Amino acid sequence: MSPGEALEAYIFFLRHERGLAERSIRAAVSVQGSWEAWLRRNAFERNWLQATPGDMNKFLGDRHHLADQTIGVIRWHLKSIYAWLHREGHALANLALNLASLARSPRAKTPWFVPTYEQLQRMMELPDPVSLDGIRDRVMLELLYATGIRSHELLSMQVHSVWPSERRAAVVGKGNKERLVVLNESAAKWLSYYLKVVHPRLLRRRRLAALPSGGDRCVFPSTKTPASLSYGTLRARIKEYALKANMPLLTAHTLRRAFATHLYQGGADLRSIQLLLGHAHLATTTLYTQALTPRLHEIIERHHPRGHLYGRL
């Protein structure tokens, strides 16, 4: 099997067997491109099937200046693709099995930005309530905050899988796992109006643009491409409203964190939040509560008999 054929088979595995989102697949392809380019420059023209564990560690070492998250993506890709090669019988051993972790200098993590309910409410009112695009944008913002769904879950929603009158919808998450999400009254109201009034007019735009009918089943169809609205468009629309609302750090994922954090602040237990977010592991859900740390310190400082000591930590 040639390097190109192996990579093509691996991407097929990620997409159709692992069910990874397209963003994750694009990240894997990007890392693979960097890995192959590095090998051409530094490993005497060895291709990636001929690479050694030493090559991988040197490749990682050359990227010590990158952010922890970026290095984590690189390590994930190398460990994943070489484990797949071994499982499929294309390699005698998993060459990335003992891939070294880079020694990182300890540094304090900046708490995630989590907007307040009042900040989000003000932002929700920014989209034009008359234009088709404005109403669509309002619905997307409402759904992201009301349900905590991921960007790709929002954009892949299908018309036949949403029931505004019953205030629920089905989304497909990581690993092609389907789950039900609950809509609040505001999100259900906006979604119902959008599907009855706006969605048909967006479909007329698609027909005027002679786009294939396959994308018509999407809740948020693109009027420029055959499928659903793109992640780039969603990101740009959210960024526009976030800047107008004086929240430059806000992204689609910020709304997911806000959903979880506000539920937790309201008394919801972590197990319930885990189910609503579609997390496979509770440990992932607990990360979403880190924004509460300053608030917890404040509570202890005010109400614990020795709270003034906590304030000095």
288 part of the active site: yes
The answer for residues whose C-beta is within 8 angstroms of residue 139's C-beta and 6 or more apart is 187, 190, 191, 194, 198
DSSP-derived 3-state class of residue 169 = strand
The pLDDT, as a whole number, for residue 129 is 94
The full set of domains in the chain, from first to last, is 3-87 (1.10.150), 117-283 (1.10.443.10)
Indicate which residue of 75, 77, 150, 257 is catalytic: 150
Indicate which residue of 82, 145, 194, 288 is catalytic: 288
206 part of the active site: no
Task: Classify residue 16 by its DSSP letter.
Answer: I
The pLDDT, as a whole number, for residue 171 is 94
Residue (of 269, 234, 253) closest to 149 by Cα position:
253
193 part of the active site: no
Contact yes or no for 21/174 (Cβ under 8 A): yes
Indicate which residue of 199, 206, 256, 257 is catalytic: 256
What is the C-alpha separation between 16 and 22, in angstroms, rounded? Answer: 11
Q: Give the Å distances, CA to CA, from 311 to 23, 300, 307.
A: 42, 9, 7
The pLDDT, as a whole number, for residue 255 is 95
Long-range contacts of 178-182 (CB under 8 A, 24+ apart): 179/275, 179/278, 181/147, 181/148, 181/149, 181/276, 182/147, 182/276
Q: At CA 176, angle to CA 262 and CA 178, rounded to 5?
A: 55
Q: Name the packing angle between helices 231-244 and 132-147 (round to 10°).
A: 90
Instruction: Tell me how far the alpha carbon of residue 137 is from its chain's centroid.
Output: 18
What is the C-alpha separation between 115 and 123, in angstroms, rounded? Answer: 10
Which phi-psi region, left, alpha or beta, contains residue 64 (left: φ > 0; alpha: ψ -120 to 50)? alpha
What is the C-alpha separation between 39 and 59, in angstroms, rounded? Answer: 8
Contact yes or no for 30/38 (Cβ under 8 A): no
256 part of the active site: yes
What's this model's pTM, rounded to 2 decimal places? 0.69
Indicate which residue of 174, 179, 239, 297 is catalytic: 174
Structure tokens at 86: 């071994």
Task: Classify residue 217 by its DSSP letter.
Answer: G
3-state DSSP helix/strand/coil percent for the chain, to nearest 5? 60, 5, 35
Indicate which residue of 15, 18, 167, 253 is catalytic: 253
pLDDT tens across the length of the chain (313 residues): 888 999 999 999 998 888 888 888 999 999 999 999 999 899 777 899 999 888 998 998 898 888 888 888 999 999 999 999 989 888 888 888 888 665 444 455 566 788 999 999 999 999 999 999 999 999 999 999 999 999 999 999 999 999 999 999 999 988 788 999 999 999 999 999 999 999 999 988 888 877 777 667 899 998 887 788 988 899 999 999 999 999 999 999 999 999 998 988 888 888 888 888 888 788 777 777 666 555 555 655 665 566 555 454 4
Residue (of 162, 167, 201) closest to 184 by Cα position:
167
* End-to-end CA, the chain: 58
Residue (of 19, 68, 70) closest to 278 by Cα position:
19
Q: At CA 119, angle to CA 116 and CA 120, rounded to 5?
A: 90
Across the beta sheet with 162-163, the strand order is: 162-163, 168-172, 178-182
